[in-house]
């Protein structure tokens, strides 16, 4: 209800998004929204889908708004973020964090890799070598990579298939560490589109209509969150009570002014450390459906 007048006026729009438990408040039910075609993908693949034209909008890692070959515009219609512990973005280490010299980094996320580097450098003056790590298979991408002494893991697997706590006794929740350092929320991912499309008047109307549908779905899902969690948590092998705390209390989904300040602060800190090109992040203005 309420979507049809948007869908009738636009061509079908391809939306790329992640299928972790944490995206359910944003994407649950989108398959039934007229005018949208939903393509699931790993977070690190979504920016490439936007660049290649395989998606019109994507729930992409926030760093991909500034570091890709094409400029992106962030739409203020939902995010994956936090203002404290994230639970599913963690560094696990067999030694104190200041002694980390190499970090096997989960290739599913671009933002979390940059966040880990910012926190380790600013908190304990550690600048480890980053080794691409296929966390699903438990293998490094480089064939000669040493056995990991520290790992950055993201997503459901942090909870459903955690590292051995005896082997990796040191754990750092990156959302909590960021909030402790800055007092600001952290934004892992947000809906975005190609800037060149946003600057085209006809395409912008289509994107505004699609973004309005995404926002309506997010707000609708917020009214039935308990039922959504009860439905999707078992699929992801989460205990329902823990999933309810994670999605309902720990995470944030509204890309409000405070969250934007957090995102801008992160991009600026990462750029100062030469982990990212200098920003700025470009947010859609007041003409976007917010």
| Position 272 pLDDT exceeds 70 | yes
| Position 271 pLDDT exceeds 60 | yes
Rg (C-alpha) for the chain, rounded Å, is: 19
Assign 3 a pLDDT band (cuts: 50, 70, 90). very low
Integer Cα distance of 239 and 255 in angstroms = 27
- What does the pLDDT read at residue 135? 63
- What does the pLDDT read at residue 110? 86
The model's pLDDT over 15-34, given as tens digits with 9 standing for 90+, comes to: 999 888 999 999 999 999 98
> In this structure, what DSSP letter does residue 6 have?
H
Average pLDDT estimate for 150-154? 94
User: Phi-psi bin for 106: left (phi > 0), alpha (psi -120 to 50), beta?
Assistant: beta
- What does the pLDDT read at residue 145? 54
CB 187 within 8 A of CB 79: yes
Q: Which residue has the tokens 């859609």?
A: 284
Q: Which residue has the higher pLDDT, 134 or 262?
A: 262
The model's pLDDT over 155-199, given as tens digits with 9 standing for 90+, comes to: 899 999 899 999 999 999 999 999 999 999 999 999 999 999 999
CB 192 within 8 A of CB 60: yes
| Position 11 pLDDT exceeds 70 | yes
Average pLDDT estimate for 37-41? 92
Q: Is 164 helix (H, G, I), strand (E, B) or coil?
A: coil
According to DSSP, the β-strands at 170-173 and 89-93 are antiparallel
| Position 94 pLDDT exceeds 90 | yes
CB 25 within 8 A of CB 247: yes
**Helical H segments across 71-145, by residue range:** 111-124
Integer Cα distance of 61 and 46 in angstroms = 8
CB 213 within 8 A of CB 3: yes
| Position 2 pLDDT exceeds 50 | no
CB 110 within 8 A of CB 152: no
Extract the tokens encoding 264.
Answer: 């801008």
CB 244 within 8 A of CB 229: yes
């Amino acid at each position: 209800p309420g979507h049809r007048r948007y869908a009738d006026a636009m061509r079908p729009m391809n939306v790329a998004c992640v299928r972790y438990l944490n995206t359910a408040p944003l994407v649950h039910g989108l398959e039934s929204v007229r005018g949208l075609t939903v393509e699931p993908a790993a977070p690190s693949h979504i920016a490439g889908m936007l660049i290649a034209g395989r998606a019109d909008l994507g729930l992409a890692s926030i760093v991909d708004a500034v570091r890709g070959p094409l400029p992106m515009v962030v739409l203020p219609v939902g995010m994956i973020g936090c203002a404290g512990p994230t639970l599913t973005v963690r560094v696990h280490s067999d030694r104190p964090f200041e002694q980390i010299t190499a970090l096997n980094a989960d290739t599913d996320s671009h933002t979390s890799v940059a966040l880990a580097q910012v926190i380790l450098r600013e908190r304990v003056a550690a600048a480890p070598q980053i080794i691409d790590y296929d966390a699903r298979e438990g293998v490094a991408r480089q064939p000669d990579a040493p056995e990991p002494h520290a790992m950055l893991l993201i997503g459901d697997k942090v909870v459903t298939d955690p590292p051995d706590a005896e082997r990796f006794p040191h754990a750092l929740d990156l959302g909590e560490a960021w909030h402790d350092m800055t007092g600001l929320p952290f934004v892992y991912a947000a809906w975005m589109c190609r800037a060149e499309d946003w600057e085209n008047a006809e395409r912008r109307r289509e994107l505004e209509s699609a973004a309005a549908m995404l926002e309506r779905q997010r707000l609708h899902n917020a009214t039935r969150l308990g039922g959504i969690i009860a439905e999707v948590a078992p699929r992801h092998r989460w205990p329902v009570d823990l999933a309810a705390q994670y999605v309902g209390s720990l995470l944030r989904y509204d890309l409000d002014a405070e969250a934007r300040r957090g995102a801008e602060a992160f991009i600026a800190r990462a750029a100062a450390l030469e982990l990212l090109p200098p920003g700025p992040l470009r947010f859609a203005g007041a003409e976007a459906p917010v």
